[in-house]
Amino acid sequence: MLKKLLGKKKDDSESSNSELIEKISKMNLTEMRAYVRDKVVALPLSEEGLYEVMKKLVEENPTTKHRYLQNDDMDTKKKKAFDLVVYVSTSKRLTIATVELIQKFIEAYEDIITDYDKRNKDIYKARLEEAIAKGIGVMESISKMRKRMNILGE
């Protein structure tokens, strides 16, 4: 139970994880959004998948040495990325590792978020900070429910 809650990966499912990582690495923002909302029939939503989506947004691409979002990207791409992070934070498949990546996303793109909010008179900075609070709330409710199920199972 603790492994699942903390987002630890299982060793026996390496091949399915590599397939999942490959599929997510090829997705664009619209496809990732459909995946996070569990609308992709061929690829069911999972904890590892959410982690990989956030990892793709936060970490540098090893080949290009650039992050997913840049200052000169179009506003629509930025908005889709910000909305995607909000959707991830409300997912029932959230793990602590994914919540940490949401925090890293806000820290890494703080200047882009602030600039976007100023130019478009939007409040994504507050929405994303609220997303972390929602993510922590989801984690608490999941852990309480699992605790109750373990008590009932004994």
Cα dihedral across residues 68, 36, 106, 4: positive or negative: negative
DSSP at 93: T
* pLDDT tens track for 9-54: 555 456 678 888 899 989 999 999 999 998 887 889 999 999 999 9
* pLDDT tens track for 141-154: 888 888 888 887 76
What amino acid is encoded at 45 in this protein?
L
| Domain boundaries defined on the chain | 13-153
> Does residue 124 surpass a pLDDT of 70?
yes
User: For residue 116, what are its two tokens?
Assistant: 């976007």
Residue 76, number of CB atoms within 10 A of its CB: 9
Distance in angstroms (rounded) separating the CA atoms of residues 142 and 154: 19
Distance in angstroms (rounded) separating the CA atoms of residues 7 and 97: 6
Q: What pLDDT, on a 0 to 100 scale, did the predictor assign at position 14?
A: 64
Distance in angstroms (rounded) separating the CA atoms of residues 32 and 116: 21
